Structure 1
Amino acid sequence: MSENTSNTTTVKPHFKLWAKKVEANEVTPQHPHKPFPGWVYGVLFVIFDIIVVTALEVGVSSSSTRVQLSSPTVGFGFVSKMWTDGNFVFVLNVILVALLYLMLLMLFNRFWTASIVILAVGIIVAAIEHFKVEIRYEAILPADLGFLGSNTGNMLTFIPAGAHVTILVALGAFAVLLALILVLRHFDGRKGRMIRTDNLSLNLTSRLILLLLPILVFALYCIHVSTTDSLANKFSRALGDTPSMWDSVYDAQRNGPLVAFTRQLNPKIMDKPSNYSEETMKKVAARYQKEAETINASRTNNLTDSTVVYVLSESFSDPSRVPGLKTNKDSMPNIRKIKAGTTSGLMLSSGYGGGTANLEYMGLSGLSMANFESSLSSPYQQLVPSQHWTPTINQLWGAPVNSLGYHPYESSMYSRATNYKKFGFSHFYTLTGPDVIKYQDKIDESPYVSDKSSYDSALEGIKSGKTNKFIQIITMQNHMPYHEWYENNDYTAESTTGTPLGDDEQQSIETYQKGVEITDQATQEFLNELDALDKPVTVVFYGDHLPGIYSSASEDDNNSLALHLTDYFIWSNKASSSQGNKTSDAAYSSPNFFVAQAADHMNAKVSPYLAFLTEMHSKIAAMEPPVVNKIQGWDRIPEGQNIYLDQNGNPMSTDDFDKETKQLLADYKLIQYDITAGKNYLKDTDFMTLP
């Protein structure tokens, strides 16, 4: 009896201890292993998070078969710049992936399941990034989400030849990680369960709250990160995000694929005008239909009876107009003479050292960046891919076969290959195809195709066929940087401010001057070739922005306007009745007005839309959003005013506008909103139709 009592007393405490452990879900007969402590989950969470970020970065940085013309592979520098440059954009990517990871943890309530899913998705997306960069030199964009619907089959276009190697590497990496997770799970007595209460209501409520919190933070970041001066934007910039939207691959390499992607998810296009409606837009269309009839009564030609050539000359401007700079000789005598004999002037540019595609977009659309919200910094990436209606001036020439584009560089830059197809161009000839530009000669040590080669390629398109065409040429010869490329360069530059130019600045300016001279000669030869044709051709030539090499001049804010004025002219060949025409109100302009000015120069009839632009230009010579002296600066100045210039190039205040000018500006915003963010009411009218 005493022996039995002694045994019972000995066993009972052990039984109670075991029972408590069972109740705490620490040890059970089925799960004999101890649960991992919380800090282990924390460490593994960070490790798996970093693995996903690394995989995504490798995806956009590991292309090997394509020659990357626009940017270097970032690689380890994405991480190392934390201690070399104080740039923590890597941490920003880790935070964003962590938010997605937390969502999965609360959704599944299992650490190991969520980890498998986040790693699988990360590796899959990284592989797709690699394939897309390999094939198109373009990172995954929000517009690609359309492939997840009815266009899923088009995802196959991202897969290059020899993709099996990448697929096997991705599968191998995932298999190793999966095996590691399964082993860890086996030894985890908790089996990765996050919320462990047996109270179902409390369990679900806790998980819901912890699920909604990261969803809310991630959603708010995506909604506001592209809005200048927002909290999300400031946070992103503080950690080192430097938007580089001219090149989606470089942007993803430099800032991380996830950051680059989220930046483009929700740009605010425009505020909806308070009176926007179908009825209002019909009134706008009718108003400028009447204006078009008035203009057309005195015009005798048709715009499409001529071939029109737009030449966006990369970084072309007059070095002698740079404040505080003295040059030893004129680098653009031919273009100066051309300007003196035809419609010409100075163009207000929103860029300095970059931003080419924004000027290009305004020239092709007739729309103004001044009307967009500051969060819309690059229409080619943030707007055009999702637009349902993209009316551009080339479409006035009818079928796509009559619209040709030439750009001796990467077709994916600014997503041009996709956008030009959407604009209605049948061919867009570039270095990388699918339509490869024919002539690709370079000058001396320059890494860029010469302007002469660009012109020669376009000449073949201009001469081909009997129909008139719209031709778009975007040159590359004078693109930055400038490093003593040219032989026998006798140009010199010096400062007149008393402070000598730095060695790098002087070298860049002198190399650039020689490039301007070469462009000057090639442009004159191009116009001579057009003069020899028996078909009417009109050329709209303009420099998109100044090169970002004038560091001395840009230090003075008083030089801001001068550093945003480039040269332009509108010229017609001998076969045109408009050769030698000089229109009024041409001294200053911006690219959104070029098509209306070309019609005026050609004495050509206009559509209601062109009639509106004609009237707008008569009141405001040039207009651009706030500009900054930063190379490839995609920030708008939140507190800045749009820049409006009068016919003498003087800034105008909106407070001083007369009633008619205010009405025109209000109509411009209505028109632009309807085309870009509204319901496209104008599409069903004759607003864009030539008589």
Structure 2
Amino acid sequence: MNNENTSEQTQQPDDIEELTIARAGGTGKGSRPRTSGVFGRFGKGRAGRDRSGRGETARKPFPGWLYAVLFLVFDAVGVAALEIGVSQTSARVQLSNNMNVTGWGFVTKMWTDLNFVAVLNLILAGVIYLILLMLFNRFWIATPVFLALAIIVAVIEYFKISIRYEAILPSDLSFLGSNTGNLMSFMPSGAHVTVLIAIGVFAVFVALCVALNRIDGRHGRLFRGTDAKSRSFNAVARLLLILVPGLFFGLYAMQVGTVGSWAKNFSSAMGDKPSMWDSVYDAQRNGPLVAFVRQLNPKVMEEPEEYSEETMQEVLARYTQAAEEINETRSANMTDSTVVYILSESFSDPERVPGLKVNKDSMPNIREIKANTTSGLMLSSGYGGGTANLEYMGLTGLSMANFDSSLTSPYQQLVPTQHWTPTINQMWGAPANSLGFHPYESSMYSRATNYEKFGFSHFYTLTGDDQIKYQDTIDDSPYVSDEATYKSALEKIAENDGDQFIQIITMQNHMPYHNWYADNEFTAESTDPSQPLDEDEQESIETYQKGASITDEATQEFLDQLDELDKPVTVVFYGDHLPGIYSTASEDENNSLALHLTDYFIWSNKASGTQGNDIDNDEYSSPNYFVAQAAEHMDAKVSPYLAFLTLMHEKISAMEPPVVNSIQGWDRIPEGQNIYLDADGNPMAESDFDEETQQLLEDYRLIQYDITAGAGYLEDTDFMTLPR
């Protein structure tokens, strides 16, 4: 025998599998040294006798290409399990039910729409799978673990959607810590059936893996070493195959939420189209893994250069003094009244749309109300979408204009992880004094969890424990009417002798608009005969006009009923954005500002003593200023924060991020200068601001950063506290 063969025979294999393969023909005269690793010379050993000596032929190890094929197959199975978990159907009205994004649609859009988001999910899941393979170094162990993780997550997705109509969010990671027991809140009735099915499916895959392991002469071992040198090489290779994919996944997760990053560009190029108004639809459309990772690390704001505890103390002192000066001329306390915020879905005046001629006024009552109280036009960041962002600004006094463009939806990307979430309803004290009403899914924009975090004791919707009392619709419309929503709120206001903060978000005028109403007397046409409205646009506009008219009448009736109450009530009413139906007008970029102006008013009942008040500088506003304007309208004293917003509004009447004429998506607003309007509604350039305005804007960014992304230096101060 030659020395090489003798040397190989004397080596000690590192496990029984090596021993079996060695005795089965891996040594002996003429044999070659084995190559270690998954891409080595698989299947080249000669047949021989196994350890029992019974003459059975040793099974050949699977070749490298077969492992690669099986990797792709099981990776696809894992992604499919996740997609099945979020793709259950719902009998509820869905805003996006006109698109086939689930099931085969998730895959087939690769060749119908050239959308490869399914491949992106395969890549991300494959990275996790590869890391598990390298950790275990056993294909037939890592594979069941990977599939178990996918199936478990899919089952939790299924349960959570069944109970809350909400996909798994990054904030749910808290359940893995001290809140693990709360996972039971995701368990619907009959959950044992789903669990048993999942266990059965997993058992099938485990049996398959066990069978393939027996067939595979290598028993799934990916890296083998018969001496110290080869073991060291394998250890380094495995480490690299953990670190490199792990680094890719980590960097992707860290940067995919940042506009302009390689990860965001890569994700968009693969077909990721964020749809964060509905976490379930987002997960169905883009894959649960992509949708989840995208929200892990959004960029909130750049840290202001001067940000520090010392700087924030200076800000506190500056606006504490301003509040004292303002309060010298004010006599009332805001929280001695009930304040009602009404976000009226898509409410705006069709007569202001450029190039549109209508036959009849859709809002005669609200027009009259506006003429006799504080009112004007509100600059909206959205067109045809973005409701929750306007809602967020109204409830917090913060502005989307200050956030990084990567932050597209604070309700999903920011609020769930905030440790401090000051909102204006908290000025009314205990949660029992804050009530919310929204006649739709409580999970939309994650409102159910966010409103609880904001300090609302009840959030009445169509789902969950707090269901809104009145749910009447009109004719063929699928949405609850404004009249029914107002009626539900009015009962809660009237039955409480104390003062409250009431938040109402209507749904009656939500898109789409499909000739819902009987006896619709409204008509619309283009002012340019050479550019007539197409049939769909005309139908949508005329249906919307009728809906706006119904809102107009219901709102007047609601105010009349509030006027009869023997307690002070002030209402802040505003439309969140225009409906995205004006396709002819939106083709002209010069119409951008006109398509982002809605109507608002601040009204008080007779018992308030401030009915008919009409404050200065009310022609233009944005929702972040409403609370300061309401305080002025009510002659109410202010906190340092409200004093700041009051001074800010005197210098900049309205502010929003850059606006576009297309229905708002969630890659947010393109780069460009924020929109700032003066008291006459004229755009202002930041470069032209005087020193006082520049200081206010800098302070606004400092305040917003401290609240949302900073250290919270203002939290334990009186910055948000109203005087008594």
Normalized against structure 1, the TM-score is what?
0.96
CA–CA distance in structure 1, aligned partners of residues 231 and 93 of structure 2: 55
User: Does 2:61 match 1:35?
Assistant: yes
Q: Is 2:48 aligned against 1:16?
A: no
User: Which amino acid counterpart does residue 427 of structure 2 have in structure 1?
Assistant: L
- Alignment deviations for residues 212-245 of structure 1 (CA, whole Å, 9 cap, x no partner): 1111111111111121222211221122111110
Q: Distance in 2 between matches of 1:360 and 1:15?
A: 78
User: Out of 83, 98, 110, which is 1:57 matched to?
Assistant: 83
The counterpart of 1:327, out of the listed 358, 361, 385, is 358
The 5 Å alignment of 1:394-405 reads 394-405=425-436
Q: Which residue of 1 aligns with 2:501?
A: 470
In the other structure, the counterpart of 1:170 is 198
Q: Secondary structure at the match of 1:538?
A: strand
Equivalent in 74, 77, 83 of residue 102 of structure 2: 74
Matched, 1:155 2:168: no
Separation in structure 1 between the aligned mates of residue 249 and residue 87 of structure 2, nearest angstrom: 25
Query: Matches of 1:310 and 1:21 in 2, distance apart?
Result: 75
1:45 to 62, 71, 81: 71
Partner of 2:326: 295
Distance 1:223 1:78 in 2: 25
Q: Contact 2:320 / 2:639 at 8 angstroms: preserved in 1?
A: yes
Give the conservation status (yes or no) of the 8 Å contact 2:42–2:63.
no
Q: Which moved more, 1:488-497 or 1:653-662?
A: 488-497
Residue pair 1:628, 1:636 contacting (<8 A) in 2 also: no
The Cα shift of 1:628 comes to 2.4
Q: In structure 2, how many angstroms separate the alpha carbons of the residues matched to 1:387 and 1:22?
A: 53
Question: What SS does the corresponding residue of 1:311 show, helix, strand or coil?
Answer: strand
Match of 2:635?
Answer: 603
Q: Which amino acid aligns with 2:473?
A: K
In 2, distance between residues paired with 1:569 and 1:365?
Answer: 18
Does 2:331 match 1:306?
Answer: no
Take 1:316 and 1:480, find their aligned partners in 2: how far apart are those partners?
A: 11
AA of the residue aligned to 1:223:
M
Tell me the equivalent position of 1:645: 677
Q: CA deviation at 1:188?
A: 1.0
1:663 is matched by which residue type in structure 2? Q
Bigger mean CA offset, 79-88 vs 595-604: 79-88
Deviation at 1:197, TM superposition (A): 3.9
Following superposition of structure 1 onto structure 2, how do residues 223-238 of structure 1 map, counting pairs within 5 Å? 223-238=254-269
Deviation at 1:629, TM superposition (A): 2.7
- 2:588 is the counterpart of 1:559: no
1:440 to 466, 471, 482: 471
- 8 Å CA contact 2:42–2:64 kept in 1: the answer is no
Aligned equivalents of 1:687 and 1:592: distance in 2? 17
Give how far 1:67 is off.
3.1
Deviation at 1:210, TM superposition (A): 1.4
Q: Using the alignment, how far apart are the partners of 1:639 and 1:143 within structure 2?
A: 29
Task: Find the aligned partners of 1:499 and 1:258 in 2 and give their Cα distance.
Answer: 45
Distance 1:562 1:161 in 2: 50
Distance 2:425 2:605 in 1: 20
Q: What's the secondary structure of 2:367's corresponding residue?
A: helix
Give the C-alpha shift of residue 86 in structure 1.
Answer: 1.9
Which letter does structure 2 place at the counterpart of 1:32? A
Q: Which of 621, 630, 633 is residue 589 of structure 1 equivalent to?
A: 621
State the Cα RMSD in Å: 1.7
Structure-2 separation of matches of 1:22 and 1:61: 45
The Cα shift of 1:68 comes to 5.3
Shift of 1:204: 1.4
Could you tell me which of 137, 146, 156 is aligned with 2:165?
A: 137
- CA shift for structure 1 position 13: 13
Q: Distance in 2 between matches of 1:34 and 1:552?
A: 69
CA distance in 2, matches of 1:622, 1:280: 26
1:617 equivalenced with 2:632 (yes/no): no
Q: Name the residue aligned to 1:370.
A: 401
User: Residue 92 of structure 1 contacts residue 236 of structure 1 at CA under 8 Å; is this kept in 2?
Assistant: yes
Establish whether residue 534 from structure 1 lines up as the match of residue 566 from structure 2: yes
Superposed counterparts of 1:76-95, under 5 Å: 76-95=104-123
Deviations 1:412-447 (A, max 9, x none): 000100000110001000000210100000000000
Summarize deviations over 1:278-321 as a string: whole Å, max 9, x none.
12111111110100000000011110111000000000000111
Matched-pair contact (CA < 8 Å) for 2:620–2:653: yes
Contact kept, 8 Å, 1:384 with 1:419, in 2: the verdict is yes
Cα distance between partner residues in 2 of 1:18 and 1:444: 85
Q: Which amino acid aligns with 2:676?
A: Y
Instruction: Compute the displacement of 1:69 (Å).
Output: 3.6
1:490 equivalenced with 2:521 (yes/no)? yes
Q: For 1:244-393, what aligned pairs fall within 5 Å after superposition?
A: 244-393=275-424
Could you list the per-position Cα deviations for residues 656-683 of structure 1 after superposition, in whole angstroms to 9, with x for gaps in the alignment?
A: 0000001001111111111111111111
- Counterpart CA distance in 2 for 1:552 and 1:234 is 31
Q: Distance in 2 between matches of 1:13 and 1:550?
A: 76
Query: Aligned with 1:515: secondary structure?
Result: helix
| Residue in 1 that maps onto 2:13 | none
Residue identity in the other structure for 1:538: T
Aligned residue number for residue 210 of structure 2: 182
Secondary structure at the aligned position of 1:682 is classed as coil
1:566-601 deviations in Å (ceiling 9; x for gaps): 000000111111110111111110000000000011
Please report how far the alpha carbon of residue 19 of structure 1 lies from its aligned counterpart in structure 2 after TM superposition.
7.4
Structure 1 counterpart of 2:457, from 420, 426, 430: 426
Quick one: distance in 2 between partners of 1:426 and 1:327?
43
Contact 1:339–1:345, Cα closer than 8 Å, also in 2: yes
C-alpha distance in 2 between matches for 1:135 and 1:256: 20
Q: CA deviation at 1:16?
A: 2.1
Segments of structure 2 that go 5 or more residues without pairing to the other structure are 1-24, 52-56
* Matched AA of 1:504: D
Post-superposition CA distance 1:5-48 (Å, at most 9, x none): xxxxxxx9994256767997755736921111111111111110
> How far is 1:630 from its partner?
2.9
> Judging changes above 3 Å, is the alpha-carbon distance between structure 1 residues 437 and 188 closer, same or farther for their aligned structure 2 residues?
same
With the length of structure 2 as denominator, give the TM-score of the two structures.
Answer: 0.92
2:143 pairs with 1:115: yes
Q: CA deviation at 1:71?
A: 4.3
Aligned position for 2:482: 451
Q: Who is 2:4 aligned against? A: none
What's the offset of the Cα at 1:394? 0.4
In structure 2, C-alpha distance between the alignment counterparts of 1:133 and 1:428, rounded to whole Å: 19
The Cα offsets for residues 427-472 of structure 1, whole Å up to 9 and x where unpaired, read as: 0000002101000000000000000001000001111221110000
Distance 2:488 2:26 in 1: 92
Contact 1:228–1:638 (Cα < 8 Å) also in 2: no
Distance 1:468 1:87, change over 3 A: same
Q: By how many angstroms is 1:363 displaced?
A: 0.2
Mapped contact 2:370–2:601 kept (Cα < 8 A): yes
Deviates most, 221-230 or 30-39: 30-39
Q: How far apart are residue 84 of structure 1 and its match?
A: 2.1
Q: Quick check: 1:627–1:636 contact (8 Å CA) kept in 2?
A: no
Residue matched to 2:12: none
SS of the aligned residue for 1:546 comes to coil
1:407 aligns with 438
| CA–CA separation in structure 1 for the residues paired with 2:42 and 2:439 | 66
What is the CA–CA distance in structure 1 between the aligned matches of 2:353 and 2:245, rounded to whole Å? 51
Q: Which amino acid aligns with 1:44?
A: L
Structure 1 counterpart of 2:308, one-letter code = S
Alignment of 1:660 onto 2:692: yes
Q: Take 1:15 and 1:91, find their aligned partners in 2: how far apart are those partners?
A: 47
SS in structure 2 of the partner of residue 683 of structure 1: coil
